[in-house]
């Protein structure tokens, strides 16, 4: 028979182990849920009207803008636009816009022209509002002038020489809308020689359109040529002319001289300036010409502080590059000073320009 003390200790240990086992089998306690985290929303985009205010002609039926958007634009976000009189807050027409639509086309009421005067475009995005004034002019679209020329910059002619393959129609207009159509047709009797449709970019301008047959063949001699210009379907201008006149003597035209640190193979001046640093090794002098005959003689003269440094002569022989040029080399650098240069072309008054080469200035040592 076991000793009573030993029995008591045995059952004491069993009781303790049983209590520990029950404690380990209890269900875990789930902490109470805290407040839900607020999601961070991306910042709202901003919107600006960066294009300059425009003047529209009376025939305009809408205003075209390209708003600048900065930031991410959510799909569900929409901007609202309004057209208002300049002195009234009552919208004349309204609409919505998103960047996916491309340009903003603010249509006038019933897609009809508005009376001449001052107006405002108002664009609203969430709590942002931007405005831009614009004007509708009372000017009536009109073709001011139309004339013929053998090159875009040559004098106008009333007849074209026999054997001519192409010519230019030079025209001036005013009171047009941006994007307004201008139609050109040149025909001989019933035969169409050339046609063109141009979307105008300015309210008024002067420009030139080339005209030639599709096969570039010489134009047939004859007196029954007719030029027709039509602006916005509202005004036409007609001009009759003949082909087969004696050859016209064309006076060459040359632009003002340029001076540059280099010149590209196509005649484009590189780093054009009238002021060069002391380390420049070569300076180029040139002019772009039109209607210059191959073989035309030229002479260049270079002066430093009014003292002649260099004289050069030559002939222009490259019709593909209509530029006449000469260069002043250094040894190895061009001396500083004030320079002048002239370029004389056969049959034209000499062209003159001036430029400077600045001296080297040593750096001032730090105190």
Q: What CATH number is associated with residue 212? A: 2.60.40.10
Whether the upstream peptide bond of residue 106 has omega within 30° of 0, thus cis, is no
Boundary residue ending a domain (136, 153, 184): 136
In our burial notation (b when 16+ CB lie closer than 10 A, e otherwise), range 223-247 reads eebebebbbbebeebebebebeeee
Residue 40 lies inside a defined structural domain of this protein: no
Residue 18 lies inside a defined structural domain of this protein: no
> H-type helices in the chain, by residue range?
4-24
Half-sphere exposure of 35 (CA within 13 A, CB side): 3
Same domain, 147 and 238: yes
Same domain, 263 and 336: yes
* Count: domains in the chain: 3
Residue 7 lies inside a defined structural domain of this protein: no
Distance between CA 158 and CA 202 in Å, rounded? 28
Q: What would the pLDDT profile of 281-298 be if each residue is shown by its tens digit?
A: 999 999 999 888 888 899
Same domain, 119 and 172: no
Helix (H, G, I), strand (E, B) or coil at 21: helix
pLDDT of residue 22: 46
In terms of Cβ atoms closer than 10 Å to its own Cβ (0-12, 13-18, 19+), residue 365 is: exposed
- Structure tokens belonging to residue 292: 């210059």
Residue 19 lies inside a defined structural domain of this protein: no
pLDDT of residue 324: 94
Distance between CA 347 and CA 342 in Å, rounded? 15
pLDDT of residue 6: 46
Q: Is the alpha carbon torsion for 267, 273, 277, 283 positive or negative?
A: positive
Q: Which residues contact 56 (CB under 8 A, 6 or more apart)?
A: 63, 134, 135, 136, 137, 177, 178
SS (H, E, C) 123-152: EEECCEEEEEEEEECCCCCEEEEEEEECCC
- Angle at the Cα of 90 from the Cα atoms of 87 and 95, rounded to 5 degrees: 120
Residue 277 lies inside a defined structural domain of this protein: yes
pLDDT of residue 364: 76
Residue 325 lies inside a defined structural domain of this protein: yes
Boundary residue ending a domain (217, 245, 273): 245
Assign residue 297 the CATH number of its domain: 2.60.40.1930
Residue 50 lies inside a defined structural domain of this protein: yes
Domain that holds residue 151: 142-245
Output the pTM of the full model: 0.45
Residues of the chain with pLDDT below 50 are: 1-9, 18-19, 22-25
Q: Compute φ and ψ for 169, nearest 5 degrees.
A: -105, 110
Boundary residue ending a domain (136, 154, 184): 136
Same domain, 339 and 299: yes
Residue 10 lies inside a defined structural domain of this protein: no
């Amino acid at each position: 028979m076991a000793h009573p003390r030993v029995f008591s200790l045995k059952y004491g240990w069993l009781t303790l182990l049983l209590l520990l086992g029950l404690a380990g089998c209890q269900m875990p306690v789930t902490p109470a849920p805290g407040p839900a985290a607020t999601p961070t929303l991306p910042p709202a985009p901003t919107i600006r009207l960066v294009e300059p205010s425009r003047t529209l002609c009376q025939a305009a039926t809408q205003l075209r803008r390209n708003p600048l958007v900065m930031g991410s634009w959510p799909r569900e976000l929409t901007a609202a636009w309004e057209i208002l009189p300049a002195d009234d807050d009552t919208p004349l027409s309204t609409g919505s816009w998103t960047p996916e639509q491309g340009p903003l086309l603010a249509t006038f009421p019933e897609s009809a022209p508005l009376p001449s005067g001052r107006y405002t475009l108002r664009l609203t995005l969430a709590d942002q509002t931007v405005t831009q004034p614009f004007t509708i002019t009372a000017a009536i679209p009109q073709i001011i002038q139309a004339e013929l020329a053998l090159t875009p910059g040559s004098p106008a002619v009333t007849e074209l020489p026999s054997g001519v393959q192409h010519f230019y129609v030079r025209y001036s207009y005013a009171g047009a809308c941006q994007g307004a159509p201008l139609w050109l047709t040149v025909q001989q009797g019933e035969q169409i020689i050339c046609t063109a449709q141009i979307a105008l970019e300015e309210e008024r301008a002067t420009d030139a359109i080339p005209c030639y047959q599709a096969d570039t063949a010489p134009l047939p001699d004859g007196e029954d040529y007719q030029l027709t210009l039509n602006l916005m379907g509202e005004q036409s201008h007609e001009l009759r002319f003949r082909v087969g006149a004696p050859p016209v003597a064309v006076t060459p035209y040359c632009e003002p001289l340029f001076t540059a640190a280099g010149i590209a193979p196509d005649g484009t001046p590189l780093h054009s300036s009238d002021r060069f640093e002391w380390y420049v090794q070569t300076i180029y002098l040139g002019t772009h010409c039109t209607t210059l005959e191959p073989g035309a003689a030229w002479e260049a003269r270079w002066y430093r502080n009014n003292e002649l440094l260099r004289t050069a002569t030559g002939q222009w022989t490259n019709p593909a590059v209509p530029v006449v040029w000469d260069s002043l080399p250094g040894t190895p650098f061009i001396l500083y000073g004030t320079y002048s240069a002239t370029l004389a072309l056969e049959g034209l008054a000499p062209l003159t320009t001036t430029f400077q080469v600045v001296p080297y200035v040593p750096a001032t040592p730090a105190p």
